[in-house]
Structure 1
Amino acid sequence: MHQFVETIRIEGGKPINLPLHQARMDATRAHFAPLVAPLDLQKWLEASPLSNERIKARVVYDVNGVRETSFEPYRKRDIQSLQLVEDNHIDYHFKSTNRQQLNHLLTLRKDCDEVLIVKGGLITDTSFTNVAFYDGQQWLTPAQPLLNGTMRQWLLQHNKIKEAHISPASISSFQRIMLFNAMIDAHELELPIANISSF
């Protein structure tokens, strides 16, 4: 049976972007079991420890309900370089616990810290974040990401980023790349475009 996961940032005891996580979980479960009753995600976060640290909550679930919850202090990865890799068959439309394809691509990063995945001739995501590119005036995010992350949705809703089709050849026209996800805010992790290695 498919298992899925919501990774939720908790700061000051408050879940961040919880409605977007709730909506994604509801949509995922409804896709695989259309008549399934919704789960209250908030209920499963009540055991979160009181802490001034950024807490990573991980809720594993399937169509029958929540299977596991865990909480731990978040430790940000040190990402300084990205390696372009290509996979035209990868599918991570649903945030699954099965990361086999992503983990395989990560082994192709050579001397870089992380991969930047190309599918169908277009930039998508890294193995664990959405991305956006700065052209000197605005931040553009790939229109066809592997996963429509909750932070990506929030940034689009608040007009902080715009969607665009971005090819590997067009990367050089940008100045910076930003990596973000539910745990990493916009502008917390930015790199110069020169830090992206081509195929």
Structure 2
Amino acid sequence: MYPLVESMKLKDGIIQNLEFHQIRLNRSMDELFPEAEKIDLIHQISIPQNFTGGIFKVRVVYSQTIDQIEIEPYQYRSIQSLKVVYHESIDYHLKYTDRQILQELYAQRADCDDIIIVKNGLVTDSFAANLLFFDGRGWFTPSTPLLRGTKRQLLLDQGIVVEKEIREEDIKSYQKVALINAMIDFEEMPVVDIDGIILF
């Protein structure tokens, strides 16, 4: 079994949305290692002084215990186009370090910057982010994500986005698509015009 990972945003020395990462870690451990003692992230992560200014990604690799903690600089990717790709049996409801299937789907993007993964006719996620769709009045996120992201959950709890079933044929009824994950805040998320999506 591959280890799991939590990827968190470190901003000016403070880990963002830590409680949401802890909840997901607890849920993952309950499923895979119900007898193991829970990992308490806040007491396990020490931020070196040279990482207290700017934006960094913190990766906690773990199974029943923490295997590795990495802190690395983070740069935002430019996303201006998306290609719809398909997989009928993909399962990534736990955040494993093994992303081979996702990598294979990402390789199908052709000249596009990222992908929209459709499973059994339903829109799920992009390569490394949850999706938001804008209909001119509000933002909606698919009710069938591959991974229930921490930033997605925060935005749902805040009422900024609404969960909704979105089928492949619904995509063109929206005006814009945005990508969010733990590293990308709502105010800075890349937004793609619906014409920037290749459906076939």
Q: TM-score when scaled to structure 1?
A: 0.96
| Counterpart-to-counterpart distance in 1, 2:72 and 2:39 | 22
Residue 135 of structure 1 and its aligned partner are, at CA, apart by: 0.4
SS at match of 2:108: coil
Matched with 2:26 is 26
State the Cα distance separating 1:2 from its structure 2 match: 3.1
Would you say 1:90 and 2:90 are equivalent positions? yes
2:115 aligned partner, one-letter code: V
Matched AA of 1:54: I
**CA contact 1:178–1:186 (8 Å) conserved in 2:** no
Greater CA deviation, 26-35 or 177-186? Answer: 26-35
3-state SS, counterpart of residue 23 of structure 1: helix
Which amino acid is 1:132 matched to?
L
Corresponding residue number in structure 1 for 2:113: 113
- Measured after TM superposition, the shift of residue 72 of structure 1 is 1.1
Unaligned runs of 5+ in 2: none
Shift of 1:44: 2.9
In structure 1, the residue matched to 2:196 is 195
Map of 1:58 onto structure 2: 59
Name whichever of 153-162 and 43-52 sits farther off: 43-52
Equivalent AA in structure 1 for residue 58 of structure 2: A
Deviation at 1:154, TM superposition (A): 0.2
* Counterpart residue number, 2:138: 138
**Percent sequence identity over aligned pairs:** 39
- Alpha-carbon RMSD: 1.1
Superposition deviation, residue 187 in structure 1: 3.9
Alignment of 1:159-178 (within 5 A): 159-178=159-178
Query: In 1, Cα distance between the equivalents of 2:24 and 2:168?
Result: 29
Q: Which runs of 5+ in 1 are unaligned?
A: none
Please give the per-residue CA displacement for 1:82-130, whole angstroms capped at 9, x wherever unaligned. Answer: 0000101110000000001000001110111111100010110001000
Give the length in aligned residue pairs.
198
- In the alignment, the residues of structure 1 paired with residue 39 and residue 148 of structure 2 have an alpha-carbon distance, to the nearest angstrom, of 21
Question: Match for residue 15 of structure 1?
Answer: 15
Q: Give how far 1:50 is off.
A: 3.2
Give the stretch that moved more between structures: 145-154 or 36-45. Answer: 36-45
Residues 53-74 of structure 1 deviation map (CA, whole Å, 9 limit, x = unaligned): 11100000002x0001110111
| Residues 152 and 181 in structure 2, CA contact (< 8 A), matched pair in contact too | yes
Q: Give the TM-score normalised by the residue count of structure 2.
A: 0.96
| 8 Å Cα contact 1:87/1:118 also seen in 2 | yes
Which stretches of structure 1, 4 residues or longer, exceed 6 Å deviation after superposition?
A: none
Query: Which residue of structure 1 aligns with residue 129 of structure 2?
Result: 129
Question: 1:151 corresponds to which residue?
Answer: 151
